[in-house]
Amino acid sequence: MEIESCGDIYELSEDCIANVLSLTSPKDACRLSEVASVFRSASQSDTVWDRLLPSDYREVISSAVGGPDSLLGQFHSKKDLFLHLCDHPILIDDGRKSFSLEKLSGKKCYMLAARELSIVWGDNPEYWQWICLPESRFSEVAELIDVCGLEIWGKINASMLSSTTNYAAYLVFTWNILTYGFDFHPAYGSVSIGGHESEKRSFYLVSEEERREMCQTAAGQLQDNGKQRQHQDSADRGIQYPKRRDDRWLEVELGECFVRGGQDGDLQVSLMMLTGKWKRGIIIQGIEIRPKECN
């Protein structure tokens, strides 16, 4: 009976198989393409990838820097376009956001450029300066000159995101060679939709190794090594540290929020670090918002 059932599947037309594959996910469509040659052929069909692309992908691409034709005209198939959007984020909204797709699910990802964020004192050249870095996807990044309190906000309309998806927001940043003020106190982040705030996250913006070195130095200066280390280890338990991305920038998670279908209102993100001494040297590329379950 099992052999006959398999035979029936292989007798289906390529168009029928393509319709079935279009109801799965990008990950499953690629896996099923290895089943047989008819599946492999069907998995290349525009019927499949037009449905696996976000339903509003043309609308999103219409705001691409350089115009939609410069992008759409490059590809011979919808699968090629899909894979390009996974591996090469495109700039939209006058270069103030980037758009890409998560490869396994096809769900939408955005990064808000530093210019799209609200940074306290960000327009005051005494505290922040705007510079160009060739390794950034955006034309400008924000470099901190000197502030005591670090406060950053960003927002994006929830309707722009994929529905029924758990999203997380990440600060994407790096350092210059003259950095100080981020060693001894954590920062706090949150993500909310419509004012319903999620649990606040605490994290350090320096690496765990740098943090431990600074704590050991401080403990030695206080001549209370054992108690100081025990107290610090207890205080730091569960606190996040930055991770290195594939593009060599650093990122740290600010929080997460579930986006329901048809949900309106803004997804709002915040970062605050109001304690401690004066700070210098962090370089902000932006805040990335992407599906968390696909990490």
Count structural domains, the chain: 2
Domain contains 166: yes
Residue 247: pLDDT band (50, 70, 90) is very high
Domain contains 38: yes
Q: Which domain holds residue 181?
A: 108-206+241-291
Mean pLDDT over 5-11 rounds to 60
Say which range, 153-162, 235-244, 262-271, has the weakest mean pLDDT. Answer: 235-244
User: Do 173 and 78 share a structural domain?
Assistant: no
**Identity of the highest mean pLDDT range in 33-47, 101-115, 180-194, 226-240:** 101-115
Mean pLDDT over 205-218 rounds to 76
- The pLDDT of residue 283 is 98
Which residue from 110, 111, 113, 109 is spatially nearest to 96, judged by alpha carbons?
A: 113
Domain contains 269: yes
Q: What are the phi and psi torsion angles at 130 (to 5°)? A: -105, 125
- How far apart (Å, rounded) are the C-alpha atoms in residues 75 and 1? 43
User: Do 199 and 284 share a structural domain?
Assistant: yes
User: Do 80 and 188 share a structural domain?
Assistant: no
Cα of 86 vs its chain's centroid, Å: 12
User: Do 160 and 24 share a structural domain?
Assistant: no
User: Do 272 and 143 share a structural domain?
Assistant: yes
Three-state secondary structure string covering the chain: CHHHHHHHHHCCCHHHHHHHHCCCCHHHHHHHCCCCHHHHHHCCCHHHHHHHCCCCHHHHHCCECCCHHHHHCCCCCHHHHHHHHHHCCEEECCCCEEEEECCCCCCEEEEEEHHHCEECCCCCCCCEEEECCCCCCCCCEEEECCECCEEEEEEEEHHHCCCCEEEEEEEEEEEEEEEECCCCCCEEEEEEECCEECCCEEECCCCHHHHHHHHHHHHHHHCCHHHHHHHHHHHHCCCECCEECCCCCEEEEEEEEEECCCCCCEEEEEEEECCCCCEEEEEEEEEEEEECCCC
- The pLDDT of residue 8 is 65
Domain contains 95: no
- How far apart (Å, rounded) are the C-alpha atoms in residues 185 and 275? 7
- The pLDDT of residue 137 is 97
Say which range, 133-137, 189-193, 230-234, 262-266, has the weakest mean pLDDT. Answer: 230-234
User: Do 250 and 194 share a structural domain?
Assistant: yes
Share of the chain above pLDDT 90, in %: 58
User: Do 150 and 25 share a structural domain?
Assistant: no
| CATH for 138 | 2.60.120.260
Domain contains 211: no
Domain contains 221: no
Q: Over the stretch 120-156, which tens digit does the pLDDT of each residue have? A: 999 999 999 999 999 999 999 999 999 999 999 999 9
User: Do 142 and 51 share a structural domain?
Assistant: no
User: Do 251 and 155 share a structural domain?
Assistant: yes
Write down which residue in 25, 56, 90 finishes a domain: 90
- Residue bearing the bigger pLDDT, 211 or 64: 64
User: Do 161 and 20 share a structural domain?
Assistant: no
User: Do 50 and 181 share a structural domain?
Assistant: no
pTM: 0.87
pLDDT of residue 80 exceeding 70, the answer is: yes
Write down which residue in 90, 120, 135 finishes a domain: 90
- The pLDDT of residue 2 is 44
- The pLDDT of residue 149 is 93
User: Average pLDDT of the chain?
Assistant: 86
Write down which residue in 35, 56, 90 finishes a domain: 90
Domain contains 223: no
Paired residues of 171 in beta bridges: 252, 287
Domain contains 287: yes
CA distances, 222 to each of 216, 225, 226, 228 (Å): 10, 7, 11, 8
Paired residues of 166 in beta bridges: 258
pLDDT of residue 288 exceeding 60, the answer is: yes
User: Do 255 and 120 share a structural domain?
Assistant: yes
